Homo-oligomer: A and B are copies of this chain.
């Protein structure tokens, strides 16, 4: 509010009897100044309570020490792991962390990027809703790291749905299920597409029938319609696009008196907080979401210091594992 005139390099310089440039170098390029002088300047700076002004630094040098993470829906617990991991890594690196919500809209996503453009060194885009072309276009002039999305050779980290989906199918098949229904999430979601593709492929190889219903809103509330639709399909195993939806399905099934896993088995994706609290506890594909956040930031930071000898941007794939709880069981005898 009241600005008590923060101390600047000039104040320090005057007090220490050196030029401002020397003070600046003391902080930004210490080896450029004599050890004795440096010590002295540091001492004076300390005494005066000097703090470099990141804005001024950024304006001149372009180095902002700030990154932004954009998520489609900050409400969705699924993202909290990723947010957490990203914030942690950023904080460790002394980089300030901006969080933005894109409300599931590609346009909104673009806008935020525009807005923040000048203020950050790069963006972590979680489950981006933008098209491949748009993304590539933006990557031309911005540092990007994608989470749960792959576009060309842009740096990305995904929690692997391929093997995971295979595990799900394997698990269900080994319980005797011959027919699976996939309750899909939003169609603009790349991840939703990947999960479906992987699931279908796995089912094909295992000789299990699989069909897709939806899209359903990936929230608990979406579970009602999803469960009802699944029930008429006659499938004995339901795989939901994510845990939220799965929990909603479980709830609806309970309402309708359909025993789980007695009559149908239910599987989710993500292993969010709460997946082991519901009844029956949810069998779900767990992935290292925190890790995904960390790695994404890592990629961004690394890219910043990219030079000729550095390897090209990377695609990281993180392993998943199936957490088997109580919502899956042997196929009913009938």
Shortest CB-to-CB span from A145 to chain B, Å, is 12
Main secondary structure of the interface of A (DSSP, over half): mixed
Shortest CB-to-CB span from A2 to chain B, Å, is 7
Chain B residues with CB below 8 A from A101, complex form: 87-88, 91
A118 close to B53 (CB less than 8 A): yes
Bound together, the chains give a CA A56 to CA B119 distance in angstroms of: 10
User: How many copies of this chain sit in the oligomeric assembly?
Assistant: 2
Q: Is A233 an interface residue (CB 8 A)?
A: no
Bound together, the chains give a CA A139 to CA B142 distance in angstroms of: 37
Using a CB-CB cutoff of 8 Å, which residues 56-89 of chain A contact chain B? 56, 58-59, 62, 64, 66, 74-75, 77, 80, 83-84, 87-88
Q: Chain B residue with minimal CB distance to A3?
A: B62
Bound together, the chains give a CA A77 to CA B79 distance in angstroms of: 12
Q: A97 and B100 in contact (CB under 8 A), knowing A6-B118, A51-B114, A118-B55? A: yes
Q: Is A306 an interface residue (CB 8 A)?
A: yes
A83 close to B91 (CB less than 8 A): no
Q: Is A141 an interface residue (CB 8 A)?
A: yes
B77 close to A273 (CB less than 8 A): yes
Q: Is A47 an interface residue (CB 8 A)?
A: no
Q: Is A279 an interface residue (CB 8 A)?
A: yes
Q: Chain B residue with minimal CB distance to A108?
A: B91
Using a CB-CB cutoff of 8 Å, which residues 106-150 of chain A contact chain B? 114-119, 141-143
Chain B residues with CB below 8 A from A96, complex form: 98, 100, 115-116, 119
Q: Is A274 an interface residue (CB 8 A)?
A: yes
Q: A56 and B59 in contact (CB under 8 A), knowing A84-B75, A247-B277? A: yes
Shortest CB-to-CB span from A116 to chain B, Å, is 6
Q: Is A18 an interface residue (CB 8 A)?
A: no
Shortest CB-to-CB span from A151 to chain B, Å, is 16
A55 close to B119 (CB less than 8 A): yes
Chain B residues with CB below 8 A from A6, complex form: 117-118
Bound together, the chains give a CA A277 to CA B248 distance in angstroms of: 10
Chain B residues with CB below 8 A from A141, complex form: 1-2, 4
Q: Which are the 8 A-B pairs with shortest beta-carbon distances?
A: A274-B274, A277-B278, A277-B277, A53-B118, A99-B99, A55-B59, A279-B279, A274-B277
30 CB-based A-B contacts, threshold 8 Å: A1-B303, A1-B304, A2-B141, A6-B117, A51-B115, A51-B118, A53-B59, A54-B118, A54-B119, A55-B55, A55-B64, A55-B118, A66-B119, A74-B83, A74-B84, A74-B88, A77-B77, A77-B80, A87-B99, A87-B100, A87-B101, A91-B100, A96-B116, A97-B98, A98-B98, A99-B99, A274-B277, A277-B278, A277-B279, A278-B278
